[in-house]
Amino acid sequence: MNPIERFKNLILVDKKDVYQLLIYAVLAGLISLSIPLGIQSIINFIQAGQVSTSWIVLVFIVVLGVAFVGILKIMQFRITENIQQKIFVRSSFEFAYRFPKIKFNQIYKHSPPELANRFFDTLTVQKGFSKLILEVSTSALQIIFGILLLSLYHPFFIFFGIILLVLLYLIFKINYDSGLSTSLKESKYKYKVAHWLQEIARNHLSFKNGKLFDFSLNKNDTLVNEYLVHRESHFKVLRKQFIQLTGFKVVITAGLLIIGGMLVLNQQMNIGQFVAAEIIIITIISAVEKLFYGLELFYDVTTSLEKLGAVVDLELEHTAENKTTKYYIDDDTICMETKEISFQFPDSETPVIKDINLQLNKGDRMLIQGENGSGKTTLLRLLARLLEPSTGSVFLNNTNIKKYCIDDFRNNIGVITIDDSPFEGTIYENITCNNPNISKKEVADLLEKLKLTDLIKSLPLGLDTLMVSEGKRINSASVQKILLARCLITNPKVLFLEEPVEKLDKYSAGEIIDFLTSPENPWTLVVIAKGNYWKEKCTKIVTLENNTIKSIK
């Protein structure tokens, strides 16, 4: 989808509000351009040297017209505010809905935080779109109505108006492609700079080192230089437009003044008409100037829509079956089987895992082990349906897992990946996600089983203690337990865990391992972990080597 199409779609979404704005703009334009006619009549009365009732009525009508135009502007202001709020709400929910559902291969080459930064372009769209609709439509109508009104004074103004419109179109046509292209390049490096600053902030402790500090500044300098190069290119396009605008204004002003003066001298217009025509000419020139400022804003808005499109255009997981599938997990039995599954990353020439045949029965405590790069993480994520196999099939209860509702499947499993971390919120929110079906007693019981009760008691605010992003105010061992609590609180039927006790001391890790592998707990467990104690407690050990299964014990 190109930027113009995105802009059209934005108009279509809020077309009722846009239509209202245009109606108000037409009314305001008509009233504004009728004011010069009233002024013309007032001047004619003044020239006659008489104060009459008609003169007073005309003054009252002109003042009333100015007030009414102001009221219409206030109403337009209210509508543009509504549009801005709608754009913000839609964009925020679009991002919040899409990120968890974007296909892996779509987001693989991107940095999710960098993509999330694109949301800030919503602010540009908010301000720019409503201003474009309001000011550009008003300016365009003022130009058209102004030319029509001038044509009433003399037919020659019609010819002049046609030339004006053609010149406007040519200036827009000549500059549009280069203006949009340079704006997109400028925006690209703007985000590169923002993302690098985000990386510095995320690794601020590492960058305290002198050499790393110098590297961070040098890289920032390189990115900023690239930004300035493209910003300067965009500025040249804008400067070219304003030079054209200045020339345009000079030609239009001189032409209309000369024509108007000659018409007065030839007695084809009176002084009142000439003054009114000059007011109209000033209005047209002001409207043209606003159009050119609007063109710069148009570049910003279309560029922002393109940046937002980088997220909106990413393909989502196929969830249409949620409404039509007959396959749901409606009992406690979950048996999984893989048949010759392989997985290959989009930019890789060889598969990460290949020809995997595996059986997972209810109640299994399965440990996946192997050297780094053997495919352990990929296998676990394929079983958890975080990834889809490149070849082969995964079966759930003897049915292809793709037939099952993906949301229902995920609601019945618990997953912890090595990338997981707490989000900004209270400990209680991090564990329960404010699920109303989870009681405080369930939380308290789980905290006791995970040996978190003493930690919660030691905190002045207890479960209401605020955790910052990545949980940096609480020690890493407790963070792992909180993630486990989040995973277990919904009573999942299958647990898929990556290194769930890696940061715990040996004694605490042993307690958690005993709890997770206890036969008394109803779940099936699939875990990637190191340590002999896991081998003792798990009922099935899968060893990967050279990207395939070496042995199953």
CA angle 356, 357, 363 (to 5 degrees): 120
Cβ partners under 8 Å of residue 127, min gap 6: 84
Q: Give the residue from 513, 514, 516, 537 showing the smallest Cα distance to 525.
A: 516
Please name the residue that has the structure tokens 């939380």: 443
Q: What percent of the chain has pLDDT over 70?
A: 91
Domain with CATH 1.20.1560.10 in the chain: 79-312
The CATH label, of 1.25.40.10, 1.20.120.530, 3.40.50.10680, 1.20.1560.10, for the domain at 79-312 is: 1.20.1560.10
The amino acid that residue 106 corresponds to is Q
The amino acid that residue 142 corresponds to is Q
Tell me what pLDDT residue 47 has. 61
Tell me what pLDDT residue 44 has. 64
Cβ partners under 8 Å of residue 70, min gap 6: none
Average pLDDT, the chain: 84
Q: Are 394 and 382 in contact (CB under 8 A)?
A: yes
pLDDT, average across residues 243-247: 81
Q: Is the pLDDT of residue 515 over 80?
A: yes
Please name the residue that has the structure tokens 């609590």: 485
Domain with CATH 3.40.50.300 in the chain: 323-552
How far apart, in whole angstroms, are the C-alpha atoms of residue 127 and residue 81?
9
Domain 323-552: give its CATH architecture.
3-Layer(aba) Sandwich (3.40)
Higher pLDDT, 434 or 245: 434
Total length of the chain: 553
Q: Are 316 and 101 in contact (CB under 8 A)?
A: yes
Highest mean pLDDT among 154-163, 322-331, 481-490: 481-490
Q: Is the pLDDT of residue 160 over 60?
A: yes
Helix (H, G, I), strand (E, B) or coil at 504: coil
Q: Are 343 and 353 in contact (CB under 8 A)?
A: yes
CA atoms within 13 A on the CB side of 12: 6
CA atoms within 13 A on the CB side of 44: 14
Q: How far is CA 176 from CA 144, 348, 456, in A?
A: 22, 39, 60
pLDDT band at 320 (very low <50, low <70, confident <90, very high): very low
CA atoms within 13 A on the CB side of 473: 12
- Where do the DSSP E strands lie in 122-208? none
